[in-house]
Structure 1
Amino acid sequence: MEAVVRNLGRLPAAVARLAESPQLLNGFLQLSAVFETSTLEPVAREVVIMTVAVRNDCHVCVEMHSEKLRKLGADEALIAALCEQRDLPDESLEAVRRFTLAVLATAGGVGDEELERFLSYGRTERNALEVVLGIGTYTMSTFANRLTRAAVRA
């Protein structure tokens, strides 16, 4: 938790609740740090996270990652489209969103056509696997936040 405070300048209530299981908290923090080093660019990583957070109805993650998108310079139209589950204005980022949804819908059994569509936007097979990493990491977070009834602000 000290590392979270150093990184964010505060301890989010959701993190404090996850600390009930140090293993879960440490696992999430380690996986999210690994995801941050993936070859997906920062805004694309946030598209994966927001797609999972909105789908799983995790208000904590939606708020935190909307703010992160703003800090990355994303415009409000992108954030609103993610929150409203609409097509994104940027085709390359929309390909990431659609691929994320396809992986979720098929439990990873994405068809060749869907994978090829993702790759056609300059994405790589490595990027596809990194989407899976993001989904796993933030599925754990969103489920835990909902289970603990983590508040957006505390």
Structure 2
Amino acid sequence: MQAVEKRFGFLPGAVARLAGSPELLDGFLQANARFEASTLDPVSREVVIMTVATRNGCHLCVAMHTGALRALGADERLVAALRSGQPLADPRLEALRAFVHEVLATSGDVPDDAVRALLEHGYTLRNALEVVLGIGAYTMSTLANRLTGAPVDGPFARHLEPLTEAS
């Protein structure tokens, strides 16, 4: 928890609530660290996270990872599409978003053509497995945040503002 507090400059309420199960908190932090160390580029990782977060209705994760995408310099149209669950303009990132949905919809029994579609956009089989890692980590997070009613802390709340055309 100290590392999380150091990273954000405060202890997010969600982390404090996840600490109600030290095993869950540790499991999430370890899975997240492994996902962050994966070969997926940072924007691709955020596409995975935002796809899981919006699917699972975790407003906290949507807010936090909207901020993460903005910190990466992501286009606001990408952010808006991810937040609304719409197809992405970037074909490579859209292939990834669609693959995440396919993994979730099929509980991992992804048809060969869906895997091929991901590979045709420059991703690898290793990346496909890393998507599963990201889904696992953020399924833990989003479900636990919803279960505990985790608050959207002030620094993250500004990222819940409705997006505008000018954004």
TM-score, length basis structure 2: 0.91
**Correspondence 1:70 to 2:70:** yes
| Identity percentage of aligned residues | 62
Match of 1:81, SS? helix
| 1:49 shift after superposition | 0.2
User: Quick one: distance in 2 between partners of 1:141 and 1:61?
Assistant: 8
1:104 corresponds to which letter in structure 2?
L
Match of 1:97, SS? helix
Match of 1:150, SS? coil
2:67 corresponds to which letter in structure 1?
E
User: Quick one: distance in 2 between partners of 1:145 and 1:137?
Assistant: 12
Q: Which residue of 2 aligns with 1:17?
A: 17
| 1:151 shift after superposition | 1.2
| 1:66 shift after superposition | 0.5
**Correspondence 1:102 to 2:107:** no
Match of 2:38, SS? coil
Q: Which residue of 2 aligns with 1:26?
A: 26
User: Quick one: distance in 2 between partners of 1:96 and 1:135?
Assistant: 12
| 1:87 shift after superposition | 0.7
| 1:68 shift after superposition | 0.3
**Correspondence 1:56 to 2:52:** no
Q: Which residue of 1 aligns with 2:41?
A: 41
Identify which range, 7-16 or 135-144, moves more after superposition. Answer: 7-16
Q: Which residue of 2 aligns with 1:8?
A: 8
Aligned residues, how many?
154
Match of 2:151, SS? coil
| 1:96 shift after superposition | 0.7
Q: Which residue of 2 aligns with 1:116?
A: 116
In the TM superposition, what whole-angstrom CA distance separates every residue of 1:16-36 from its partner, at most 9, and x where no partner exists? Answer: 110111110011011101100
User: Quick one: distance in 2 between partners of 1:147 and 1:12?
Assistant: 16
| 1:117 shift after superposition | 0.4
| 1:10 shift after superposition | 1.4
User: Quick one: distance in 2 between partners of 1:114 and 1:33?
Assistant: 27
Structure 1: runs of 5+ lacking an equivalent? none
| 1:153 shift after superposition | 2.1
**Correspondence 1:142 to 2:145:** no
Structure 2: runs of 5+ lacking an equivalent? 155-167
| 1:134 shift after superposition | 0.2
1:134 corresponds to which letter in structure 2?
G
